[in-house]
C-alpha cells in the first residue's frame, strides 16, 4: 500500500470519515491509522488522518489520547483557516477532561482564528 496516489489517499480518508459518521469507530480508526502511516508527516493528508483519529478518540471519551493526536496534527506545519476544527476539537477534549477554563480559552482561540470573535 506504500505507493498510493493523492487520489487514493483521499479515497481512504473519505472512507474513514464515512465509517466514523456511521459510528463504526473501530473501522474508521483502522483506516485513519493506515492513512497516517502512508502519509508524509507534515502533509495535509497526515494532518487529516491525525485529526480523524482525534475525532474518534473524542467520540469514545478518550480525551488524553485525543489531545496527543491533536498536538501531532497541529504540529504538522502552519495552520490555515481550514484547520480551525483542530482548535475546536482541542476545546472538546479539554472539556471532556473537566478543564473548563482551558476549554473556554481554546474556544476563544477558535473564534479568533475563524474571525468570529464576539464584540464585547
Report residue 35 CA to chain centroid gap: 13
Is 29 inside a domain boundary? Answer: yes
21-49 per-position pLDDT tens digit: 999 999 999 999 999 999 888 888 888 99
Q: Indicate which CATH number applies to the domain containing 82.
A: 1.25.40.10
pLDDT higher than 70, residue 119? no
Is 48 inside a domain boundary? Answer: yes
Which pLDDT value is given to residue 89? 94
Which pLDDT value is given to residue 83? 80
Model pTM?
0.85
What is the helix (H) or strand (E) element at residue 120, kind and residue range? none
Is 81 inside a domain boundary? Answer: yes
Which pLDDT value is given to residue 6? 83
Which pLDDT value is given to residue 97? 95
**Residue at grid coordinates 485513519:** 32
Amino acid at each position: 500500500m506504500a505507493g498510493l496516489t493523492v487520489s487514493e489517499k483521499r479515497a481512504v480518508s473519505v472512507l474513514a470519515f464515512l465509517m466514523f459518521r456511521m459510528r463504526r469507530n473501530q473501522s474508521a480508526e483502522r483506516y485513519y491509522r493506515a492513512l497516517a502511516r502512508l502519509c508524509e508527516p507534515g502533509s495535509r493528508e497526515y494532518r487529516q488522518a491525525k485529526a480523524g483519529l482525534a475525532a474518534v478518540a473524542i467520540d469514545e471519551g478518550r480525551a488524553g489520547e485525543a489531545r496527543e493526536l491533536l498536538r501531532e496534527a497541529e504540529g504538522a506545519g502552519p495552520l490555515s483557516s481550514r484547520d480551525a476544527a483542530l482548535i475546536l476539537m482541542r476545546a472538546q477534549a479539554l472539556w471532556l477532561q473537566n478543564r473548563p477554563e482551558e476549554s473556554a480559552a481554546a474556544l476563544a482561540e477558535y473564534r479568533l482564528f475563524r474571525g468570529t470573535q464576539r464584540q464585547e
